[in-house]
């Protein structure tokens, strides 16, 4: 049983080339993972060992890493973001930072 899936993290996008040998299968898998992540509510989690078949765990972790990279390029701290636990066994959507609205302090009047 895997107690740490961080060995599968995506260090370079070239690591995906061997999975892209069957592009139709690869992009179907990417689409299903992205859909799963898009539908994850803030505070929601995905337990990788319970959700993903053992044969697919490596590619699942790499695709989630790809999603996270894309998200960090297009989103801000105020948005809800996907993250892994340290051991990569849990994927969760962290609620975004809610900055307070600017208000006038009573001494400022």
- pLDDT (tens digit per residue) in 9-44: 999 999 999 999 999 999 999 999 999 999 999 999
83 in a structural domain:
yes
55 in a structural domain:
yes
1 in a structural domain:
no
Reported pTM? 0.84
Q: What is residue 103's predicted lDDT score, i.e. its pLDDT?
A: 67
Confidence of residue 77 (pLDDT cuts 50, 70, 90): confident
Counting the structural domains of the chain, the total is 1
102 in a structural domain:
no
25 in a structural domain:
yes
79: Cβ contacts below 8 Å, ≥ 6 apart: 71, 96
Cα angle, residue 65 at apex, residues 59 and 66 outer, rounded to 5°: 90
14 in a structural domain:
yes
Residue 62: closest CA among 24, 1, 6 = 6
Q: How many CB atoms lie within 10 A of CB 48?
A: 22
48 in a structural domain:
yes
Expressed as residue numbers, the domain containing 19 is 6-97
50 in a structural domain:
yes
Asked if the model's pLDDT at residue 6 lies above 80, the reply is yes
8 Å CB contact between 27 and 109 = no
Q: What is residue 73's predicted lDDT score, i.e. its pLDDT?
A: 87
Q: What is residue 74's predicted lDDT score, i.e. its pLDDT?
A: 85
């Amino acid at each position: 049983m895997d107690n740490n899936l961080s060995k599968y993290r995506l260090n370079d996008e070239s690591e995906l080339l061997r999975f892209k040998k069957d592009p139709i299968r690869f992009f179907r898998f990417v689409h299903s993972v992205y859909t799963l992540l898009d539908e994850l509510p803030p505070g929601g989690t995905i337990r990788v060992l319970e959700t993903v078949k053992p044969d697919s765990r490596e590619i699942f972790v790499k695709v989630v890493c790809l999603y996270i990279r894309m998200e960090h390029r297009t989103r801000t701290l105020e948005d809800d973001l996907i993250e892994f636990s340290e051991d990569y066994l849990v994927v969760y959507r962290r609620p975004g930072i809610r900055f307070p609205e600017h208000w006038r302090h009573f001494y400022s009047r």
